[in-house]
Amino acid sequence: MADRKKKRRQADPDSDSESETLPFKKLLKPDSTILSSLKALATASSTAGTSSAANPVTLSSLSLSDTCREVTDLPLSSVQSHIETLALSLAKSILAGNGFSFSVPSRSSANQLYVPELDRIVLKHKASLRPYANVTTVRKTTITTRIMQLIHQLCLKNIHVTKRDLFYTDVKLFQDQTQSDAVLDDVSTILGCTRSSLNVVAAEKGVVVGRLVFSDNGDMIDCTKMGMGGKAIPPNIDRVGDMQSDALFILLVEKDAAYMRLAEDRFYNRFPCIIVTAKGQPDVATRLFLRKMKLELKLPVLALVDSDPYGLKILSVYGCGSKNMSYDSANLTTPDIKWLGIRPSDLDKYKIPEQCRLPMTEQDIKTGKDLLEEDFVKKNPGWVEELNIMVKSKQKAEIQALSSFGFQYLSEVYLPLKLQQKDWL
Partner 1 sequence: MEMESSESPIQTTKGAAAKSKAPRKPKQTTSVLKQKSPAEFFSENKSIAGFDNPGKCLYTTVREFVENALDSAESISELPVVEITIEEIGKSKYNSMIGLADRERVDEELYDDFETAKAREKRLAKEARIQENQAKLAALGKKLKEPTSAKAIKGRAQASFYRVTCKDNGRGMPHDDIPNMFGRVLSGTKYGLKQTRGKFGLGAKMALIWSKMSTGLPIEISSSMKGQNYLSFCRLDIDINRNIPHIHLHEKRDLKEHWHGAEIQIVIAGNWTTYRSKILHYMRQLAVITPYAQFLFNFVSDASDKNVSIRFSRRTDIMPAVPLETKFHPSAVDLLLIKRLITETSKQNLLQFLQHEFVNIGRAFAERLIGEMGPDFSPKMPVKSLTSQQIVRIHQLFRQAKFDDPSGDCLSPAGEYNLRLGIIKELHPEMVATYSGSAQVFEGHPFIVEAGVSVGGKDVKQGLNVFRFANRIPLLFEQGADVVTRTAMKRINWNSYKINHTQDKIGVFVSIVSTKIPFKGTGKEYIGDDISEIASAVKTSIQQCCIQLKSKIAKKIQAREQQERKRNLSRYIPDASGAIYDVLKEMTTLHASKKKRYNDEDAELLNKVSSKLITKGTLMEKLAEHVEQVDYEMALEYATHRGVTDEPRENLFIQSLRDENKFTDFQSPVFVFRLFQ
Give the closest residue to 196 by CA, choosing from 166, 237, 227, 164. Answer: 237
Among 24, 102, 114, 132, binds partner 1 (CB under 8 A): 132
Find the part of the chain contacting partner 1 (CB under 8 A) among 98-106, 189-197, 252-260, 411-419: 98-106
CB 22 within 8 A of CB 410: no
> Are β-strands 127-131 and 101-105 bridged in parallel, bridged antiparallel, or unpaired?
antiparallel
Task: Among 48, 57, 64, 91, indicate the residue that binds partner 1 (CB under 8 A).
Answer: 91
DSSP state of 252: E
178-209: b (≥16 Cβ within 10 Å) or e: ebbbebbbbbbbbbbbbbbbbbbbbeebbbbb
Q: Are 273 and 262 in contact (CB under 8 A)?
A: no
User: Which part of the chain contacts partner 1 (CB under 8 A), choosing from 48-56, 142-150, 216-224, 402-410?
Assistant: 142-150
Contact with partner 1 (CB under 8 A) among 13, 75, 99, 382: 99
> Residue 146 Cβ, how far from partner 1 at the closest point, in Å?
5
Number of residues that bind partner 1 (CB under 8 A): 30
Minimum CB separation of residue 238 from partner 1 in Å reads 22
Residues sharing a CB contact under 8 Å with residue 330, sequence separation 6 or more, in sequence order: 59, 70, 71, 72, 118, 120, 122
Question: Does residue 92 bind partner 1 (CB under 8 A)?
Answer: yes
Check whether 398 is labelled as a binding-site residue: no
Window 29-68: contact mask with partner 1 (x via CB under 8 A): ----------------------------------------
CA–CA gap between residue 233 and residue 208 (Å, rounded): 7
Amino acid 335 reads: P
Task: Say whether 66 counts as a known binding-site residue.
Answer: no
Segment interacting with partner 1, rule: CB under 8 A, options 66-74, 103-111, 145-153, 354-362: 145-153
Catalytic residue, from 168, 268, 409, 414: name it: 168
By beta-carbon proximity to partner 1, the closer residue of 141 and 277 is: 141
Q: Which of the ranges 83-91, 118-126, 201-209, 269-277 carries the binding residues for partner 1, by CB under 8 A?
A: 83-91
| DSSP letter assigned to residue 214 | E
Exposure class string for 119-156: b at 16+ Cβ within 10 A, else e: bbbbbbeebeebebeeeebeebbebbbbbbebbbebbe
CA-closest candidate to residue 252, choices 321, 316, 325: 316
Footprint on this chain of partner 1 (rule: CB under 8 A):
81, 83-84, 87-88, 90-92, 94-95, 97-100, 132-135, 138-139, 141-142, 145-146, 148-149, 152-153, 156, 173
Q: Which positions make up the binding site?
A: 254, 306
Q: Which positions make up the binding site for Mg(2+)?
A: 254, 306
